[in-house]
Amino acid sequence: MTPVSPATSVLDPDRLLPAEESLRAIARDLYELVADAPIISPHGHVSPSLLIEDRAFADPADLFIVQDHYVTRILHSAGVSLSDLGIGGGHCEPREVWRALASRWHLFAGTASGYWLQDELTSLFDLHEELSIDRADAHYDAISERLRLPEYRPRALFDRFGIEVLATTDDPLADLSEHRTLAEDRTFSGRVLPTFRPDAYIDPHAPTFLSSVERLAEWSGSSLDDYDSYLEGLRARREHFIENGAVSADHGVRQPYTEEIEHDDAARLYARAVAGRLTDDEARLFAGHMLLKSAEMSVRDGLVMTVHPGVFRNHSTATFQKYGPDTGHDIPVVTEFTRSLRPLLERFGNEREFHLILFTVDETAYSREIAPLAGFYPSVFIGAPWWFLDAPDAIRRFRSSTTETAGFYNGSGFIDDTRAFLSIPARHDAARRLDAGFLAGYVREGRIGMEKAERIVVDLVDAIPRRAFKL
């Protein structure tokens, strides 16, 4: 009766499907409909150069640990110095870094990172025995060997993963030549799309705000303190992104605060911003205004607007100063949408061609604010569970918290939002399994029929993300 995984593998073919047999049977049927569907990844952080250069990955430690702050943060929480993981420039023997993970593999039990890693090690590297300090070297060698093979190069994996669309995240002044090269490369069939990410250009609190707007003014040949040229510069850069295949603009803001202010007031604020003379409140006001202006630009040029709010970045100053950003200490905060977004929605909420996708790491907002907003405004879509919430139980809570208010068709489809290229299939697969399980529950409880569930499970990986991201 006890359903231990077969001795030969730690990867259960029924993993993440519901425990109860009648549910699992339905879920399995639904999952099979989408298990091999192409991957649409309209938001993420893989670098396009990975696919341009198409070089072999360096080593198992770099691939699975050093480059993945989801992993290093857990090791750090157990007292491992980031320096000892090869972060921040110092040299570490990759095999030692790998052993640091292997000897602490139990820390990852039950975590989303542990799940993805397990999936990757087994599915991609045929390592059917669980990682441990005893097996650390054997695993390291086995992975290293594979990484030298041509079929483990990024492009080969891209094909193997069945990725149809992959969006990157890019600085507004990026020339996007890599995207063009890939688009023109007849040997490469995937769509790799840039994403316009203007945070550093529109939020005076951003550490690089000044240097960013200076570069923008330089590029557009206009005066730094001229607000209209600044707006025109942003519009022109968005145009450049659209010409290179972009479908969305992404906004990582502390709070989804928006404010409508008069042109002349905004111009004055901007002039003082570039002079570094805004108070905190003024900076917040200007950022809120620019989020609203970004929506206006989206209404005009058609770029889908995604908002990723509510993260306190670089919580540990000492860590940030020594190791830089994205080192595991971005911590969520309470996030408010109903009042904060109202000025924006008053202007553009009922525009039918405007798409505004709201993500959150404060899951209390799903049932209270995001689903009710998406259940009314034609422009609003519910972003898939993001970051810490991209995890099996959290994904179930997400579906449970949003579906009854807004249905399945007001969502974005799954978003992996990852810089860990090798984890993309494991992440999408997990989401598909969880959605199949969730739908199975509704079928088993007589809430939707099997035919309907079959349609929905397919739409969730195809029609729904295509519509939300205008693909």
CB 45 within 8 A of CB 419: yes
The CB density around residue 104, as the number of other CB atoms within 10 Å, is 16
The nearer residue to a second copy, 85 or 380, going by C-beta atoms, is 380
Tokens (6 digits) for 433: 């399994």
The distance of closest approach from Cβ of residue 380 to a second copy in the complex, given in angstroms and rounded to an integer, is: 7
The nearer residue to a second copy, 36 or 451, going by C-beta atoms, is 451
The nearer residue to a second copy, 18 or 48, going by C-beta atoms, is 18
The three-state secondary structure class of 357 is strand
Looking up tokens 């670098």 gives: 47
The nearer residue to a second copy, 38 or 372, going by C-beta atoms, is 372
The distance of closest approach from Cβ of residue 416 to a second copy in the complex, given in angstroms and rounded to an integer, is: 16
**Distance in angstroms (rounded) separating the CA atoms of residues 398 and 364:** 10
The nearer residue to a second copy, 130 or 282, going by C-beta atoms, is 130
CB 199 within 8 A of CB 251: yes
The distance of closest approach from Cβ of residue 20 to a second copy in the complex, given in angstroms and rounded to an integer, is: 5
The distance of closest approach from Cβ of residue 243 to a second copy in the complex, given in angstroms and rounded to an integer, is: 28
The distance of closest approach from Cβ of residue 174 to a second copy in the complex, given in angstroms and rounded to an integer, is: 30
The nearer residue to a second copy, 113 or 244, going by C-beta atoms, is 113
The distance of closest approach from Cβ of residue 36 to a second copy in the complex, given in angstroms and rounded to an integer, is: 19
The distance of closest approach from Cβ of residue 207 to a second copy in the complex, given in angstroms and rounded to an integer, is: 17
